[in-house]
Structure 1
Amino acid sequence: MDIALDKASETNASLRITLTPDDYKPEVDKKLKQYSKTVALKGFRPGHVPPALIKKMYGKGILVEEINSILGKTVSNYIRENKLQVVGDPVPNREQADAIDWDTQEQFEFSYELGLASDFDVHFDQLPALTQYQIEVTDKEINETIENLQKQFHTHEHADEVADGDTIYGELKQVNAPEGAEAGFASKTAFPTNKMAEEAKADFIGKKKGEVVTFTIETVFPNEKDRANATGVKKEEAADLTGEFTFEIEDVTRHQPAEINQELFDKTFGIGQVESEEQFRTKIAEVISKNYERESSTLLRYDIERELLNNIPILLPEEFLKNWLIESNEGKVSREQVDAEFEEFAKSVKLQLIKNKIAETADVKVEFEEIMEVTRQMVREQFGFTNTDDEEMNKTIDKIARNYLMDEKNNGQNYTSLFNRVFDDKVIEYAKTQVTVESKPASFDEFKAVAEGR
Structure 2
Amino acid sequence: MNITKKDIDPLNAVVTVNISKDDYSEKVDTILKDYRKNANIPGFRKGHVPLGMVKKQYGKAVLVDEVNKILQNELHKFLTEEKLDVLGNPLPKNEAEIDWDAGDFSFEFDLGLAPEFEVNLKGKAVTHYKIVADDEMINNQVKTIRKQYGKLIAKDTVEKGDEVTGTFTSEEKGIEKKATFETEIVKGKKQLSTLIGAKVGDTITLKTKGLFKDEHDNQRYLGVDHDAAHGLDIEVALKIEEVNKREMADLNQELFDKIFGEGVVTSEKQLKEKIKEDAERQFEQQSDQKLLNDVVESLIENTKFDLPKEFLQRWIQQSGEEVLSEEAAKEEFEKSEKGLRYQLIEGKLRAEHKLQVTFEELKDYSRDMIRMQMAQFGNMNPTDEELDGIVGRIMSNEEEVRRLSEQLNTNKMLQFYKENAKLKTKEVTYDKFIKEAYA
Do these two structures clear the TM 0.5 threshold for a shared fold by scoring above it? yes
Contact 1:19/1:109, CA 8 A, preserved across alignment: yes
Greater CA drift, 189-198 or 285-294: 189-198
Deviation of 1:422 (Å): 3.0
Which residue of 424, 428, 432 maps to 1:443? 428
Q: Secondary structure at the match of 1:114?
A: strand
- How far apart, in 1, do the equivalents of 2:387 and 2:370 lie? 11
Rounded to whole Å, the distance in 2 between the matches of 1:79 and 1:351 is 23
Give the residue type in structure 2 aligned to 1:117.
A
1:187-198 matches, within 5 Å, as 190-192=178-180
Deviation of the 1:209 alpha carbon: 2.4
1:110 is aligned to 107
CA distance in 1, matches of 2:178, 2:435: 44
* Partner secondary structure for residue 90 of structure 1: strand
Q: Which amino acid aligns with 1:406?
A: E
Distance 1:33 1:117 in 2: 45
In 2 relative to 1, CA 71–159 (structure 1 residues): closer, same or farther, beyond 3 Å?
A: farther
- Identify the residue that residue 68 of structure 2 maps to in structure 1: 68
Deviation at 1:356, TM superposition (A): 1.7
Q: Contact 2:129/2:433 (CA < 8 Å) preserved in 1?
A: no
Q: Which residue of the partner structure matches residue 20 of structure 1? A: 20
Q: Which amino acid aligns with 1:442?
A: E
Q: How does 1:85-164 map to 2 (within 5 A)?
A: 85-93=85-93, 96-102=94-100, 104-122=101-119, 134-150=130-146, 156-162=152-158
Matched, 1:389 2:361: no
Structure 1 residues 394 and 56: CA distance shift in structure 2, 3 A: farther
Give the aligned partner of residue 408 of structure 2.
422
- The residue aligned with 1:347 is 338
Counterpart Cα distance in 1 of 2:245 and 2:65:
73
User: Cα RMSD between the aligned structures?
Assistant: 5.1
- Alignment-derived partner of residue 240 in structure 1: none
Q: What is the CA distance between 1:353 and its match in structure 2?
A: 1.3
CA distance in 2, matches of 1:254, 1:40: 90
Distance 1:22 1:219, change over 3 A: same
| Cα distance change, pair 28–257 in 1 and its aligned pair in 2 (3 A) | farther
Q: 1:416 to 1:40 in 2, by over 3 A?
A: farther
Q: 1:87 to 1:41 in 2, by over 3 A?
A: same
- The 1:91–1:64 alpha-carbon spacing in structure 2 relative to 1, beyond 3 Å, is same
For the 8 Å contact 1:355–1:424, the answer to whether it is kept is: no
C-alpha distance 217-63 of structure 1, shift in aligned 2 (>3 A): farther
Matched, 1:286 2:282: no
1:328 aligned onto 2:313: no
Match of 2:228 in 1: none
Q: Which residue number corresponds to residue 229 of structure 2? A: none
| Partner AA of 2:273 in structure 1 | T
- Determine the C-alpha separation between the residues in 2 that align with 1:191 and 1:75: 67
Q: Deviations over 1:246-274 (max 9, x none)?
A: 776443346666654567656755x4483
- Whether contact under 8 Å (2:15, 2:108) holds in the other structure is yes
- Residue of structure 2 equivalent to 1:276: 266
Secondary structure of 2:9 counterpart: coil
Q: Quick one: which amino acid aligns to residue 401 of structure 1? A: I
Matched to 1:78, the amino acid is F
Query: In 2, Cα distance between the equivalents of 1:263 and 1:32?
Result: 87
TM-score normalised by L of structure 1? 0.69
Deviation of 1:314 after TM superposition, in Å, equals 1.0
Is residue 204–residue 213 contact of structure 1 (8 Å, CA) maintained in 2? Answer: no
Deviation of the 1:101 alpha carbon: 4.2
2:3 pairs with 1:11: no
Give the C-alpha shift of residue 349 in structure 1. Answer: 1.5
User: CA distance change for structure 1 residues 90 and 421 in 2, over 3 Å: closer, same or farther?
Assistant: farther
1:359 matches 2:350: yes
Letter in 1 for 2:316: L
- Work out whether 1:78 is the aligned partner of 2:74: no
Shift of 1:207: 1.0
Displacement, 1:16?
2.1
Q: Which consecutive unaligned segments of at least 5 residues does structure 1 have? A: 179-184, 235-242, 408-413
Q: CA deviation at 1:315?
A: 0.5
CA distance in 2, matches of 1:428, 1:335: 37
- 1:398 maps to what in 2? 391
Shift of 1:153: 6.2
Give, in angstroms, the shift of residue 325 of structure 1: 3.0
Q: CA deviation at 1:227?
A: 9.4
Answer whether contact 2:87 2:113 (CA < 8 A) is retained: yes
Percent same amino acid among aligned pairs? 29
